[in-house]
Amino acid sequence: MEIPFTTMEQLMPFPTAQELIAKQHRPMESMPPGMTVMAALKMMAEKNIRFLAVVENGSLAGVLSERDCARRVILGKLDAAGTAVRDIMSKDVHTVKPDTKIPECIMLMYAKDVGYLPVLRGGELVGVLSIREVMGALIERHERLLRRLGEERLTLMYPDPSSY
């Protein structure tokens, strides 16, 4: 006997942070805290990215975004070639675990006003999720769910497969 679905999550579960990381087409980029801001900006430009994890001794020490560079270097009138990333990086980093579901990631990103979430397994950085990836996964899930519900509706309306 089949047990009926009682929630939408049972019908079509949300992906996890780990599942989204597995879909990423490019390797995660990181840098040491001693790197200069200018070198970090060049790295971001070359890789066409806007965010870098700062890793020291295998652990996440902080993060650096283009926003950090603009606000702390340019507005602070610092020398990008002479300023170390450790001096301007964000140290209060909001992270998630690999098994965190997408709705939790979205709520955290919204509540903390961040566009990127490092994903940690224990203390090890396993990837970084962007708001674009998280919202894309949410949209993809909703599209699949709508297609499935449409198919279910057709099946209920026309139970004989030869009629369609």
Calpha distance 110→105 (Å, rounded): 9
Q: Nearest Cα to 98, choosing from 23, 24, 16?
A: 16
pLDDT digits (tens, 9 = 90+) for 55-98: 999 899 999 999 999 999 999 999 999 999 999 999 999 999 99
Calpha distance 67→21 (Å, rounded): 23
Q: Which residue has the higher pLDDT, 58 or 155?
A: 58
> pLDDT confidence of 162, banded at 50, 70, 90?
low
